[in-house]
Amino acid sequence: MTPFSRRFLLGAGAAGLAGATLMPTLTLAAAPTDKRFVVIVLRGGMDGLSAVVPHGDPAYASARGRIAIAAPGTGEGAALKLDGMFGLHPNLEALKALYDGGDAAIFHAVASPYRERSHFDGQDVLENGDTQPRRRHDGWLNRALAGYGRKDANRALAVSQAMPLILTGPEAVSSWTPPQLPQGDDDYLARVQRMYEDDAQLRTALEDALATREMAMGAMDGNMRGGGNQLAALARPAGALLRAEDGARFAVMDPGGWDTHNNQGAAQGLLAGRLADLDRGLAALKDSLGTVWKDTMVVVVTEFGRTVAVNGSNGTDHGTASAAFLLGGAVKGGQMIADWPGLGQGQLYENRDLKPTMDMRALFKTALVAHMGLDEGFVSREVFTDGERIALLEQVLRG
Amino acid sequence: MTTLAAIALNRFGMGARPGDFDKIGRDPRDFLKAQVERAKGVPKPLQTLAGSIDYINAAPERGTGQEGVRAYRLRGRALYQQEIALRYAYGIATGEGFTERLVRFWSNHFTVSIANRQVEPFAGAMEREAIRPHLTGKFEDMLLAVCRHPAMLIYLDNANSFGPNSAVGRRRNVGLNENLAREILELHTLGVEGGYTQADVLALAKIITGWTRQGPQTRQAGVTGDAVGFVYLPAGHEPGDHVLLGKTYPETRDDAQGIAALKDLARHPSTARFIARKLANHFIADVPPARAVDALADVYARTGGDLKAVTLALVDLDEAWVPETRKFRAPEDFVVAGMRALSADSSLTAQSFVQAALNIEEGLSQAGDVMDPQSYQQALRTINRSNDPAMALLRTVGALGQYPFTAPSPAGWPDEASAWAGPDALIERLDWANAISARLRPNLEPVAFARAVLGPDISQSTERVLSGAASPAQGAALVLASPEFQRR
């Protein structure tokens, strides 16, 4: 984003704010977009210190003990060097290639506004766009959809059976996973639709499902194979759904299994397996998006990081800040962005966790405004609580 | 056939089977209360299943080769599948539908997941050994039984939590794992808004250090445990007094310190409210009326967490009997209710699940004590055959997102429509309704069938579509697909 458009949007936002008191119906509907935005929520609390290794921090190796990832250049299982301070987990090879190719920016010491250590409240805040859990009952991405003038079904898609909170709300959204059971025939489904005519909840859900299934059939040439719930298996069909001209513009994926209390491992082990799946998933997504990768932004976040110290069972407990990734052809990659708080004595949050120095919502807000073209004032007011205080990130989009 | 009877069978129970309406008697409330009075321990069909201790005692000695260890693990998987087959059989066949729903409610409250493969042999056993015996007892006894069960001790890592100043902690450079302590406070007792701090999490974690499962290691250490699989390991316990929620729990020579702390948590006013809200959420509405929650919390507090009193109070709540069905059936609920509705008129009855379990039994006994992975794999193949109806159903529930004992987090399966009524989840259950009806070919008149399992309240649009069904099989599928069948 150029400085000029930044100023322009800031101005528009201010006008919106001023106008709100005078004419409450003022809307600044954004034009339809061909950009794509994917949010990947890693549920369970990804350990940012093993994913993005601060090998240059003098306290890292000793604090991490048995689960420390070896510094870059020290042989097999060593971190993949990003710069003198940071490296990626050895299983994040595809991410490293994206970084080297200028398609991935990597952030550290990132957290949502949530400062306690419950998964459920943590995920709630990540998804509801608020500063507190359980106060807003719809998701920020659903609220963002209201900023477009054009209302199309299938613009936003959860690639999961259950609708995640981040997409829940008044705007029409859909969900899709590769069908695992023989599909009902058209005659039967048409009759079901007639039974649902007076039932708004079921009618809408079925209409969305049928439309999405049709879209998926087209996008995948009828070849929809189920492949389990690993990100690597879901990313390819997700990419096809996003790639299609009449397909989705927003998608959410939310692989779990990141809650590594026990035997987390280092270069190998439980966490290494999850990171390998994430890495394969990101590569598959890029591959599947094909030519629209250049118009895509993917943000990868988790509800919180994990304790700096290793716990009693070779794992880590719930912490605070973690790492985050921004990928896609639209991203000005090759950057490692962190206001690093340090891991030494006196530098930790509450004496145990990585201290947050960046609001995760800055990634979301930047994506919505600078990439997806939504009005900044609208995003600040309607999408996030206290959204005016969230800074837009400079220099993370290709100009 | 009345609306109240339909509520008793579908909202409180596992779903009506044709003919069930005739068994209710005059007062549906009494029908449910009689089940609560009868609920005692493990029902007979499930009593043959192995106990946790049996599996623990069958563990190969240390130093056993890889083949033996692998065979042992496969035996654990076979036990899990046998358990699930019988659990479905029982869920489909039982006349004690309310009791069974309560079991699954509490089992979900105290979720364990086989995503951790070590939990697999113990997950179903925990339901039999820690949930069912206390269904109408004191909540504190259920809490204790769960927190001392191998499944929970493994799932939430307490089996690997050691006091930093304990003998083991100092010798082996191991320490606290706060996972179970945190979830006890957040998910099992007080609730996340229940008024505890990080310091309380740590205190409780210390208090329950040394609570672990029996195994070759504890056997070798010469400590004896209980009959289920729990053992208190003094050498792993963090010494000293600990302060939890402002109260000091003095050091004890045994596990009494932890027992005292958990009992206090079970009787805490926040726990009363948390449990009351969760029950009301499950039986009444996603956002339950405050008066109903207050009433249940009040009974809970007054009786010190007497689950029988609380359950009976739930049955007495007027809010639980409003005709409007406000709870969307979760996938397992939907599939079991669908099977109950169809099973009376089909070859696929609970018997086929029992047969599946027997097949596993046969495979297991053939494998015997020989630690031979191939015998166990044979046993698993027997039940994994694609034409085995029990396993096909299990896959269905998995495809619908609710494979037994795989909840995505310690919070258990969500209990709100928003989690299950999304487009993809809905169309997949419609696919299943169609497939199962095509397979079973029930020969029923659709409208009569609908009334037999849903009661008198069928909308005109549903009735119109049902009466125009192209075939009995399509008619049955449409009954299962109907708006009335999606909610309870």
Contact B422 A205 (CB under 8 A): yes
Q: Which residue has the higher pLDDT, B191 or B77?
A: B191
Confidence of residue A32 (pLDDT cuts 50, 70, 90): confident
Separation of alpha carbons B378 and B364, rounded Å: 9
Tracing tokens 């609220």 back to the chain, one arrives at A143
A15–B contact, CB cutoff 8 A? no
Query: SS3 of B224, please?
Result: coil
Contact A195 B474 (CB under 8 A): no
Q: What is the model's pLDDT at position A313?
A: 84
Average the pLDDT over A48-55 and give the result. 98
Separation of alpha carbons A49 and A64, rounded Å: 9
Q: Which residue has the higher pLDDT, A70 or A20?
A: A70
The amino acid at residue B227 is: A
Q: What is the model's pLDDT at position B347?
A: 47
Residues of B in contact with A192 (CB under 8 A): 430, 478, 481
Q: Does A3 score more than 70 pLDDT?
A: no
Mutate to test the interface with A, among B177, B427, B467 (most CBs of A within 10 A): B427
Q: Does B76 score more than 80 pLDDT?
A: yes
- Residue in chain B nearest A159 by alpha carbon: B424
Q: Does B226 score more than 80 pLDDT?
A: yes
Separation of alpha carbons A355 and A342, rounded Å: 8
Q: Does B382 score more than 70 pLDDT?
A: no
Min Cα separation A196/chain B (Å): 7
Confidence of residue B210 (pLDDT cuts 50, 70, 90): very high
Q: Which residues pair with A296 in a beta bridge?
A: A36
Q: Does B302 score more than 60 pLDDT?
A: yes
Confidence of residue B217 (pLDDT cuts 50, 70, 90): confident
Cα B89 to Cα B16, B333, B351, B355, B394: the distances in Å are: 15, 14, 7, 9, 11
The amino acid at residue B211 is: W
Confidence of residue B96 (pLDDT cuts 50, 70, 90): very high
> B222 Cβ partners below 8 Å, 6+ apart?
none
Mutate to test the interface with B, among A142, A188, A199 (most CBs of B within 10 A): A188
Average the pLDDT over A150-177 and give the result. 84
Contact B175 A312 (CB under 8 A): yes
Q: Which residue has the higher pLDDT, B285 or A33?
A: B285
Contact A163 B430 (CB under 8 A): no
Q: Please state the separation of Cα A145 from the chain's center in Å.
A: 16
Q: What is the model's pLDDT at position A21?
A: 37
Q: What is the model's pLDDT at position B88?
A: 84
Confidence of residue B331 (pLDDT cuts 50, 70, 90): very high
The pTM assigned to this predicted structure is: 0.84
ipTM of the complex, rounded to two decimals: 0.90
Q: Does A22 score more than 60 pLDDT?
A: no
Residues of B in contact with A196 (CB under 8 A): 483
Mean pLDDT, chain A, whole residue set: 88
Q: What is the model's pLDDT at position A6?
A: 28
Q: What is the model's pLDDT at position B70?
A: 83
> B26 Cβ partners below 8 Å, 6+ apart?
none
Average the pLDDT over B360-373 and give the result. 61
Q: Does B431 score more than 60 pLDDT?
A: yes
A262 → closest Cβ in B157, B169, B410: B157
Residues of B in contact with A210 (CB under 8 A): 427
∠ CA B440-B441-B447, rounded to 5°: 115
Token output for B372: 């031979």
Burial B174-210 (b: 16+ CB within 10 A, else e): bbbbbbbbbbbbbbbbbbbebebeeebbbbbbbbbbb
Contact A161 B424 (CB under 8 A): yes
Min Cα separation B109/chain A (Å): 15
CB pairs under 8 A between A and B: 170
Separation of alpha carbons B272 and B301, rounded Å: 6
Residues of A in contact with B477 (CB under 8 A): 184, 188
Q: Which residues pair with B244 in a beta bridge?
A: B247
Tracing tokens 């996938």 back to the chain, one arrives at B331
A197–B contact, CB cutoff 8 A? yes
Which DSSP string corresponds to A9-20?
Answer: HHHHHHHHHHHH
Separation of alpha carbons B363 and B365, rounded Å: 6
Strands, E, within A25-148: which ranges?
36-42, 52-53, 80-81, 87-88, 104-111
Average the pLDDT over B34-45 and give the result. 92
Mutate to test the interface with B, among A64, A174, A192, A350 (most CBs of B within 10 A): A192
Q: What is the model's pLDDT at position A178?
A: 84
- Residue in chain B nearest A179 by alpha carbon: B428
Smallest Cα–Cα separation from B211: which of B250, B167, B180, B185? Answer: B180
Q: What is the model's pLDDT at position A200?
A: 94
Q: Does B384 score more than 70 pLDDT?
A: no
Q: What is the model's pLDDT at position B174?
A: 83
Q: What is the model's pLDDT at position A246?
A: 82
Token output for B162: 């050691």
Mutate to test the interface with A, among B165, B172, B426, B429 (most CBs of A within 10 A): B426
Separation of alpha carbons B475 and B207, rounded Å: 58
For A374, list phi and psi in degrees, rounded to 5.
-80, 150
The amino acid at residue B34 is: A
CB B138, CB B59: distance < 8 Å:
no
Q: Does A219 score more than 80 pLDDT?
A: no
Q: Does B30 score more than 50 pLDDT?
A: yes
Q: What is the model's pLDDT at position A223?
A: 63
CB B432, CB B409: distance < 8 Å:
no
Mean pLDDT, chain B, whole residue set: 90
Q: What is the model's pLDDT at position A149?
A: 77
Q: In chain A, positions 271-310, which contact chain B (CB-CB < 8 Å)?
A: none
Contact A261 B179 (CB under 8 A): yes
Q: What is the model's pLDDT at position A255?
A: 92
B408 → closest Cβ in A43, A118, A185: A43
Cα B249 to Cα A296, B185, B235, B327: the distances in Å are: 56, 16, 19, 42
* pLDDT one-digit tens code per residue, A343-363: 998 999 999 999 999 999 999
Confidence of residue B390 (pLDDT cuts 50, 70, 90): low
Q: What is the model's pLDDT at position A229?
A: 60
B422 → closest Cβ in A121, A175, A257: A175
Q: Does A17 score more than 60 pLDDT?
A: no
Q: What is the model's pLDDT at position A18?
A: 36
* pLDDT one-digit tens code per residue, B243-254: 999 999 999 999
Q: What percent of chain A has pLDDT over 70?
A: 89
Residues of B in contact with A348 (CB under 8 A): none
Average the pLDDT over B191-210 and give the result. 97
Token output for B64: 């056993």
Separation of alpha carbons B100 and B127, rounded Å: 11
* pLDDT one-digit tens code per residue, A98-149: 999 999 999 999 999 999 999 989 999 999 999 999 889 899 999 999 998 7
Q: What is the model's pLDDT at position A4?
A: 29
Confidence of residue A2 (pLDDT cuts 50, 70, 90): very low
Residues of A in contact with B433 (CB under 8 A): 184
Q: Does A299 score more than 70 pLDDT?
A: yes
B174 → closest Cβ in A191, A206, A312: A312
Q: What is the model's pLDDT at position A14?
A: 34
| Rg (chain B; Cα; Å) | 23
Q: What is the model's pLDDT at position B90?
A: 86
State in Å, rounded, how far the first CA of chain B is from the last one: 16
Number of neighbouring beta carbons within 10 Å of residue B323: 10
